[in-house]
Amino acid sequence: TDPLEAELLEIALDAATRAGAFLRDGRPEDLGVAATKSSAIDVVTEMDIAAEKLITGLLADRRPQDSLLGEEGASVEGSSGVQWVIDPIDGTVNYLYGLPSWAISIAARKEGETLVGVVHAPVRGEIFRAVRGQGAFLNDRPVRVRPAPELGLALVSTGFGYLAERKAHQAEVVRWLIPEVRDIRRGGSAAIDLCDVAAGRLDGYYERGLNPWDYAAGDLIAREAGALTGGRPGEPLSPALTVAAAPGLFEQLQRRLDELGAWHD
């Protein structure tokens, strides 16, 4: 194992585990909305902010020369070439309502490549992790995508944005896709959706409008479990479109989403 990757993994697991305990055990009964972002339903809680501080504090202590990019505003330019991409709570709306599917997502990137990804869903008791080239694991057991079904038999998850116009178009895409697949799920955490593809609990996942902190760790975990990930056909995954599925299904799903215009509003 590459010593840098081993160190980054150990730090990411430590930060995710500590933040997970803090968020799970410290969730106030009367948790409210601390601020809104792009719209009234795009919310931040005091716990998102506190957890990002906890995580970035730990990372800065251990590796002070690294860059940091966090959903709640962390933005530090370091000199080491390593960048941490952090979502302190992916699935904030689930967390706000007390639903179990939310996760801490931490990825370490270097020269544009993700080296390490950790997604920790504390209420589900799950820690997914991957190191580039070394497979993906759920609580220390290797995970693998399930064999690709044809599109018509695929269980596909997706997510929706926070702006009404975008949501209306996303609903239009789903309106066409639903009869063409087994069923659609909307779990509420992109990071967990990608990990559920990795673990064979979903056949595929797609979403328009994610941010790097939503998918950086889950993308590596899905790929290391045998999934293909990307955006529009021939393009890498990006905030415009994120698609993940096992080879065989991936190409079909990507092509159909392209025809349906899932990449625009």
Q: Give the residues lining the site for ligand IPD (CB under 6 A).
A: 71, 87, 90-92, 159-161, 188-190, 207, 209-210, 214
For residue 75 the two structure tokens come to 């933005």
Could you identify the residue written with the tokens 């080239």?
A: 133
Q: Which of 84, 82, 29 is nearest to 52 (CA)?
A: 84
CB of 28 vs ligand IPD, minimal distance in Å: 18
Between 110 and 128, CB nearer to ligand IPD = 128
> Left, alpha or beta for 100 (phi > 0: left; psi -120 to 50: alpha)?
alpha
CB of 80 vs ligand IPD, minimal distance in Å: 26
Q: What share of the chain is helix, strand, coil (3-state, %, to 5)?
A: 40, 25, 35
Residue 193's contacts (CB-CB under 8 Å, 6 or more residues apart) are 157, 158, 159, 185, 187, 202, 205, 207, 218
CB of 119 vs ligand IPD, minimal distance in Å: 11
CB of 79 vs ligand IPD, minimal distance in Å: 28
CA–CA distance, 239 with 134 (Å, rounded to integer): 26
CB of 98 vs ligand IPD, minimal distance in Å: 14
CA–CA distance, 56 with 1 (Å, rounded to integer): 25
Between 148 and 189, CB nearer to ligand IPD = 189
Residue 137's contacts (CB-CB under 8 Å, 6 or more residues apart) are 128, 129, 130, 143
Between 70 and 226, CB nearer to ligand IPD = 70
Identity of the residue numbered 114: T
**Closest-approach residue to ligand IPD (CB):** 159
Cα-based angle 9, 197, 39 (whole degrees, multiple of 5)? 85
Between 76 and 99, CB nearer to ligand IPD = 99
Between 103 and 245, CB nearer to ligand IPD = 103
CB of 7 vs ligand IPD, minimal distance in Å: 26
Between 148 and 214, CB nearer to ligand IPD = 214
CB of 153 vs ligand IPD, minimal distance in Å: 24
Between 144 and 167, CB nearer to ligand IPD = 167
CA–CA distance, 184 with 36 (Å, rounded to integer): 28
